[in-house]
Structure 1
Amino acid sequence: MPCVTAFAASASTPTPPESRTYDHILDTVVARYHLPGIALGVIEHGKVIYVATRGETVAGSGQKITPRTLFEIASNSKAMTTALLGRLVDQGKLRWDDPVTKYLPDFQMYDPWVTRNMRVADLLTHSSGLPEGGGDLMLWPEPNSFTRADIIHGLRYIKPGYSFRSKYEYDNLLYVVAGEVAAAAGGAPYETLMHREVFQPLGLSRCQVGEWNRDTVGDVAAPHAREDGRNIPRQSGNPVIAAITSAPAGGIRCDLDDMLTWARNWLVPTPAQLKWLSAKQRRVLQSPHMLIPVSEQRRDWDDSHIMAYGYGWRMTDVDGTWTVWHTGTLSGMYSELMLLPDQKDGFVFLINGEADAARTVLGEALLKHFTRPDDTRDVTWYADAQQRADEQASKRAAAPDTSKAVPVAPAALAAWTGRYRDPWLGDLALCPSGDRVHFAVAKSPRLNGDVMRLGKRDLVHWSRHGMDPDAWLDFHPAQGGQPATLTMAKVDPLGDFSSDYEDLHFVRTGDCP
Structure 2
Amino acid sequence: MQSRTSPCIPSRLLTLGLSCTLAIAPSVWAADPADTFNRLLDQAVTHEHLPGIAMAVVEDGDVVFTGTRGERQAGQGEAINPDTLFKIASNSKAMTAALLARLVDRGLLRWDDPVIKYLPQFRMHDPWVTQQMQVRDLLIHNSGLGLGAGDLMLWPEPNRFTRQDIIAGLAHLKPVTSFRSGYAYDNLMYVVAGEVAAAAGGKPYDQLLREEVFVPLGMDRCQVGAWSVTTVGNVAQPHTRKDGRSVVHGADGDLSPDLTSMAAGGIRCSLRDMTRWMQVLLDPARVPGWLGAVQRRALWTAHMPMPLGERQRRWDDAHVSAYGYGWRLSDMDGQWKVAHTGTLSGMYSSLALLPDRKVGVVILINSDAEDARTALMQAALKHYTAPGDGADVEHYLSLLAQERAGRREAGQVRPDTRARRPAPLRTTAAAQGRYRDPWLGEALLCPQQGTLRFSVAKSPRLRGQVMQLGERWLVQWDTLGADAEPWLQLQPGAPPTLTLAAIDPEIDFSYDYQDLHFSRVGDCP
| Equivalent position SS for 1:179 | helix
Instruction: After TM superposition, give the deviation of residue 382 of structure 1 in Å.
Output: 1.0
Aligned residues of 2:229 and 2:252 also touching (Cα < 8 A): no
Q: Paired residue for 1:12?
A: none
Q: Paired residue for 2:5?
A: none
Q: Paired residue for 1:511?
A: 523
| Equivalent position SS for 1:238 | coil
Instruction: After TM superposition, give the deviation of residue 314 of structure 1 in Å.
Output: 0.4
Q: Paired residue for 1:137?
A: 152
Instruction: After TM superposition, give the deviation of residue 236 of structure 1 in Å.
Output: 3.6
Q: Paired residue for 2:377, among 350, 354, 363?
A: 363
Q: Paired residue for 1:280?
A: 294
Distance in structure 2 (CA, Å) of the matches to 1:27 and 1:236: 26
Within-5 A mapping of 1:9-88: 17-88=32-103
Give CA deviations for 1:438-487 in whole Å, capped at 9, x if unaligned: 00100000000000011111011101153641011111111xxx311111
Q: Paired residue for 1:119?
A: 134
Q: Paired residue for 1:290, among 304, 329, 332?
A: 304
Distance in structure 1 (CA, Å) of the matches to 2:512 and 2:404: 21
Amino acid at match of 2:392: D
Call closer, same or farther: CA 1:235–1:434 in 2, change over 3 Å.
closer
Give CA deviations for 1:393-448 in whole Å, capped at 9, x if unaligned: 24432211111111012111111010000000000010011221000100000000
Q: Residue 247 in 1 paired to residue 262 in 2?
A: yes
Q: Paired residue for 2:166, among 139, 151, 154?
A: 151
Give CA deviations for 1:156-179 in whole Å, capped at 9, x if unaligned: 000101111111100000000000
Distance in structure 2 (CA, Å) of the matches to 1:207 and 1:378: 31
Q: Paired residue for 1:470, among 458, 479, 485?
A: 485
Amino acid at match of 2:518: F
| Equivalent position SS for 2:40 | helix
Q: Paired residue for 1:203?
A: 218
How many residues are paired up? 495
Q: Paired residue for 1:3?
A: none
Aligned residues of 1:335 and 1:351 also touching (Cα < 8 A): yes
Amino acid at match of 2:144: G
Q: Paired residue for 2:497?
A: 485
Distance in structure 2 (CA, Å) of the matches to 1:241 and 1:443: 19
Q: Paired residue for 1:434?
A: 449
Instruction: After TM superposition, give the deviation of residue 307 of structure 1 in Å.
Output: 0.5
Distance in structure 1 (CA, Å) of the matches to 2:290 and 2:191: 23
Q: Paired residue for 1:8?
A: none
Distance in structure 1 (CA, Å) of the matches to 2:122 and 2:482: 31
Q: Paired residue for 1:379?
A: 393
Aligned residues of 1:107 and 1:152 also touching (Cα < 8 A): yes
Gaps of 5+ in 1: 1-14
Q: Paired residue for 2:24?
A: none
Aligned residues of 2:150 and 2:170 also touching (Cα < 8 A): yes
Q: Mean Cα displacement is larger for which, 228-237 or 254-263?
A: 228-237
Distance in structure 2 (CA, Å) of the matches to 1:246 and 1:394: 34
| Equivalent position SS for 1:447 | strand
Instruction: After TM superposition, give the deviation of residue 234 of structure 1 in Å.
Output: 2.2
Q: Paired residue for 2:249?
A: 234
| Equivalent position SS for 1:51 | strand
Q: Residue 268 in 1 paired to residue 283 in 2?
A: yes
Aligned residues of 1:54 and 1:65 also touching (Cα < 8 A): yes
Q: Paired residue for 2:321, among 289, 292, 307?
A: 307
Distance in structure 1 (CA, Å) of the matches to 2:101 and 2:408: 41
TM-score (norm 1): 0.95
Distance in structure 2 (CA, Å) of the matches to 1:235 and 1:137: 17
Aligned residues of 2:238 and 2:251 also touching (Cα < 8 A): no
Overall identity of the aligned pairs, in %: 56
Give CA deviations for 1:277-300 in whole Å, capped at 9, x if unaligned: 111101001111111111111101
Aligned residues of 1:316 and 1:322 also touching (Cα < 8 A): yes
Q: Paired residue for 2:509?
A: 497
Q: Paired residue for 1:4?
A: none
Call closer, same or farther: CA 1:237–1:380 in 2, change over 3 Å.
closer
Q: Paired residue for 1:447?
A: 462
Distance in structure 2 (CA, Å) of the matches to 1:237 and 1:121: 34
Amino acid at match of 2:390: T
